[in-house]
């Protein structure tokens, strides 16, 4: 977060430890009540704990005095816990504060595409503020030492999540240029058969980016273990252990494994010869598909599976 001046609000800059003292001594009553109910933190303890655990922490100064601090405690490389602590001085900057908040949320989402947090339902002003900013509200949960009702909220970066087929092909070409790519069958398949079914399993190590092949037929896919993001012409989605998807004909996907992942695909076929299966199920290029297969893919793509 860069330091800058707002003509009405004042200065917005990275937080300093001394800000925690001022915010703590002058914390808005609802914020202080929320911290105390949750873990018996005093206002100053809450300010220092939030500051110390955050990678990003920003202070809003009005008339050269801190009126609010906010920041993000990282959960992983793509998500973080969003917090804000305020004084009654926040009321003096009113609408300009709210307008700037939308910009700040967008800036934070550039660093952490998912932001989340919890609000004590008694903290009505925070609830209205987050609703105005466009937070997605989750379920109410009983939390903290006093077993009070808190509600989960989140913000998600709004980005185009569709990869064009050419983008996927270009990415695959770039990966193939990396020295050592694909040597020694780095992701071996495990093959199994049942009556009328062919099952293949692949283990994808954490941190690996993979590009799949073009499937000629639709089939179910199961994530038996792990956490993986999938990008394709249909969009992007994150799958975790126990999730499944239906792969449409003509699908070609990119995957990034956030954790060690076991990916299992099931195909309807009576064939058991692996070479013949590859020819039956996989196309090397989209142009390789027959006219009938391309027509079938088009028809299926008009209906959600």
Q: Which two tokens stand for residue 41?
A: 């933190």
**What integer pLDDT is reported at residue 70 of this predicted model?**
94
pLDDT at site 169: 81
pLDDT greater at residue 159 or residue 14: 14
pLDDT exceeds cutoff 50 at 156: yes
pLDDT at 42: 96
105-109, 185-189, 216-220: which range is least confident on average?
185-189
Mean pLDDT of 87-114: 88
Residue 110 has pLDDT above 90, yes or no: no
pLDDT for 291 beyond 60: no
User: For residue range 163-172, what is the model confidence (pLDDT) as tens digits?
Assistant: 677 788 888 8
- DSSP for 3-32? -EEETTTEEEEE--HHHHHHHHHTB-HHHH
pLDDT at 180 over 80: no
**When comparing pLDDT for 288 and 81, which is higher?**
81
Other C-beta atoms closer than 10 Å to the C-beta of 139 total 7
DSSP of 31-99, one letter per residue? HHHHHHHHH---HHHHHHHHHHT-SEEEEEEETTEEEEEEEEEEEETTEEEEEEEEBGGGGGTHHHHHH
pLDDT of residue 22: 96
| Token representation of residue 38 | 């949750």
Query: Could you tell me which residue, 100 or 117, shows the higher pLDDT?
Result: 117
Rounded to an integer, the average pLDDT of 54-77 is 91
Task: For residue 259, give Cα distances in angstroms to 81, 171, 297.
Answer: 20, 21, 32
Q: How much is the average pLDDT of 138-142? A: 91
In percent, the amount of the chain with pLDDT more than 70 equals 90
pLDDT of residue 31: 92
Residues 205-227 have a mean pLDDT of: 90
* Per-residue confidence (pLDDT) for residue 188, from 0 to 100: 83
Better pLDDT: 284 or 81: 81
| pLDDT for res 182 | 57
User: What's residue 35's pLDDT?
Assistant: 92
Which residue ranges form the domains of the chain, and what is each CATH number?
A: 4-156 (3.40.630.30), 165-301 (2.60.120.10)
d(CA 213, CA 282): 7
Summary mean pLDDT of the chain: 86
- Dihedral of CA 167/217/215/256: which sign? positive
- The pLDDT value given to residue 75: 85
Contact between 203 and 260 under an 8 Å Cβ cutoff? The reply is yes
Residues 223-273: tens digit of each pLDDT:
999 999 988 877 788 899 999 888 888 888 899 999 999 999 999 999 999
The pLDDT, as a whole number, for residue 150 is 93
Mean pLDDT of 196-209: 93
């Amino acid at each position: 977060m860069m330091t800058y001046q707002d003509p009405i609000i004042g200065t917005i800059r990275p937080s300093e430890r001394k800000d925690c003292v001022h915010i703590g001594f002058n914390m808005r009553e609802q914020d202080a009540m929320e911290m105390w109910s949750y873990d018996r933190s005093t206002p100053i303890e809450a300010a220092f704990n939030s500051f110390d655990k955050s990678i990003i922490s920003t202070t809003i100064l009005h008339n050269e005095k801190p009126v609010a601090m906010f920041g993000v405690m990282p959960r992983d490389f793509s998500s973080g816990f969003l917090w804000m602590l305020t004084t009654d001085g926040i009321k003096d900057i009113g609408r300009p504060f709210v307008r700037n908040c939308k910009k700040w949320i967008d800036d934070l989402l550039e660093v952490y595409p998912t932001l989340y947090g919890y609000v004590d339902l008694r903290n009505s002003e925070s609830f209205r503020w987050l609703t105005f900013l466009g937070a997605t509200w989750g379920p109410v949960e009983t939390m903290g030492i006093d077993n009070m009702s808190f509600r989960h909220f989140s913000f998600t970066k709004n980005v185009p999540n569709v990869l064009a087929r050419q983008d996927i092909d270009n990415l695959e070409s770039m990966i193939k240029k990396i020295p050592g790519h694909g040597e020694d069958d780095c992701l071996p398949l495990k093959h199994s058969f049942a009556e009328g079914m062919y099952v293949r399993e692949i283990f994808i190590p954490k941190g690996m980016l993979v590009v799949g092949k073009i499937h000629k037929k639709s089939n179910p896919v199961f994530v038996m273990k792990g956490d993986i993001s999938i990008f394709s012409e249909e969009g992007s989605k994150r799958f975790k252990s126990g999730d499944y998807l239906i792969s449409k004909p003509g699908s070609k996907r990119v995957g990034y494994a956030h954790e060690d992942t076991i990916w299992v695909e099931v195909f309807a076929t009576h064939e058991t010869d692996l070479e013949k299966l590859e020819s039956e199920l996989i196309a090397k290029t989209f142009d390789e598909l027959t006219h009938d297969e391309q027509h079938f893919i088009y028809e299926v793509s008009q209906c959600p599976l």
